[in-house]
Structure 1
């Protein structure tokens, strides 16, 4: 058992005194969180919480452990920070797995311009995974999709991407300059496994007459190239693939930086991310004119 990780979970539950809220804060489902707390109780040989249908309370043993657990977690974080300092300062940041390589390279370069002594270390994680990684200190900051229901996080400015539809070149809809969401009715849809964004996108699709026959999760476009599904994203210069804007720009995907504790270094990363995503990925400030369309790898950021 990873004792430090389980102590982190314990601290969050002790602070929330509500397993559902703690699970949201940690970016995980409630049943696995309850199981890990029970495993910690089994390992320690004592109950840490009194649970009832109405409330969760710390036991006396739980109250005694809380201060020690916070100190242990803080010391482990400090040891990690010291180890990083010994090797040169490293800033670990989460990025979506479908973030284009060119965008990552430009983001790293933009950050290094102002922080030549710091090494930016991107880690590919979906938003829910980033929320959990921020909670346990695995990463220092991230690039996340909204909406997010997680307490204890700070966010940078929200940027918006207006996606179009990706189709096979032989698809009859590729003959048109623009496509209405309702025109996609009955087709399969390929989407990244992002719970908040996925639910929001599907709700807007249903509202405008598109209910996918089947939903596929992933970032590879093999199904789209084969004409077996459509996807949403930025223009893509891929042989056999066509991109068309959606009539009325019905979809608007929001992204921002996120962190548990803001530091000057994280603030500089957030600023570099905004510059890069606006300049290289065609995103715009929330509430401003729609993002310009850019070419590159399909997906969330291209």
Structure 2
């Protein structure tokens, strides 16, 4: 891995803390054991072969699993009962987080839960690097290499100033929001979902003049009040004590957030499953989430369509 990433035996040896000749000998021995040539060598450079490139991902996974195995052995040696590394997206309401923790604590009282607040993109990166055991992600996203819990849907409405004409409607058509800027989370947090929401708005007749980015509830509320902007959010995002910002459902077929637990394939042990079950139960009971489409294979598509 070091030679492939450095494309240079000297730099790779320095990175590994060994001399260059033993490193070259180890690579040659590995090539003999595998029966394939991993690198093309010249006096000036080292280039990975096609066979080496194809095996590199497997090598990374083997090393990651080795490190995970050693970490587990250390925990056993030190008498620890276990650790589950989990993550939730920033937009889940506090009641959902509390319900999840309470439910999981009852299911696995002896397990230490290391919980992080991470965007979908951050979770996917850490799951791929085996730095996270399980998370709750937004769909659509790239689910290759992952197993999923049930996909749950939270329909979105619109947050807008109480004095806005649209606030008097029982349900707001997307087309009536023309003239308002749209407040969304930053695109890097969940690129496919971001594009999906903009496509849904366009299909409903609403193309915002500008997209403003915000995630914190107070910051979004300030933009809604002072910037002639609206935000798409589930019902639980509306603070009941707020007198100046209201939530209204969207007419017709509203856009939605879709969540599910996700974990690397083949690594869904009892603790992971308990977290996935607790997350699904908390979303249903505290955030009004409902099952999405009937169970069927999930695929990533580059446009806004979620299911094939």
Task: Classify the TM-score, shorter chain.
Answer: 0.7 to 0.9
Partner of 1:27: none
1:82 is the counterpart of 2:73 = yes
- The answer to whether 1:276 aligns with 2:276 is no
Of residues 106, 109, 122 in structure 1, which corresponds to 2:115? 122
Deviation at 1:265, TM superposition (A): 1.1
- Residue correspondence of structure 1 range 201-240 to structure 2 within 5 A: 201-220=197-216, 221=220, 222-235=222-235, 236-237=238-239, 238-240=242-244
Q: Secondary structure at the match of 1:265?
A: helix
Check whether the contact 1:171–1:227 (CA below 8 A) recurs between aligned residues.
Answer: no
The reply on whether 1:162 has 2:158 as its aligned counterpart is no
Q: Distance in 2 between matches of 1:167 and 1:257?
A: 31
TM alignment of 1:69-148, pairs within 5 A: 70-85=61-76, 86=78, 87-148=80-141
Q: Aligned partners of 1:63 and 1:164: how far apart in 2?
A: 46
Q: Is 1:250 matched with 2:241? A: no
1:91–1:140: 8 Å Cα contact kept in structure 2? yes
Shift, 1:134, TM fit: 0.3
CA contact (8 A) 1:93 1:140 kept: yes
Q: 1:39 to 1:63 in 2, by over 3 A?
A: closer
* Structure 1 match to 2:12: 44
Change in Cα spacing, 1:65 to 1:199, as seen in structure 2 (3 Å) is closer
Q: Deviations over 1:72-118 (max 9, x none)?
A: 33221112323455443221111111222221111011111111111
Q: What TM-score do you get using the length of structure 1 for normalisation?
A: 0.74
- 2:64, 2:130 within 8 Å by CA — same for their partners in 1? no
Gaps of 5+ in 2: 14-38, 40-45, 295-308
How many corresponding residue pairs? Answer: 246
Which residue matches 1:300? none
* Structure number, greater radius of gyration: 2
Unaligned runs of 5+ in 1: 1-6, 11-36, 51-56, 289-302
**Alpha carbons 2:177, 2:206 under 8 Å: kept:** yes
SS in 1 for 2:7: helix
Q: Distance in 2 between matches of 1:225 and 1:158?
A: 34
TM-score where L is the length of structure 2? 0.73
Task: Flag the 1:219–1:276 CA change in 2: closer, same or farther, 3 A.
Answer: same
Q: By how many angstroms is 1:121 displaced? A: 2.2
Deviations 1:244-270 (A, max 9, x none): 010113212211000002111111111
Query: How far has the Cα of 1:218 moved from its partner?
Result: 2.0
Q: Alpha-carbon deviation of 1:219?
A: 1.1
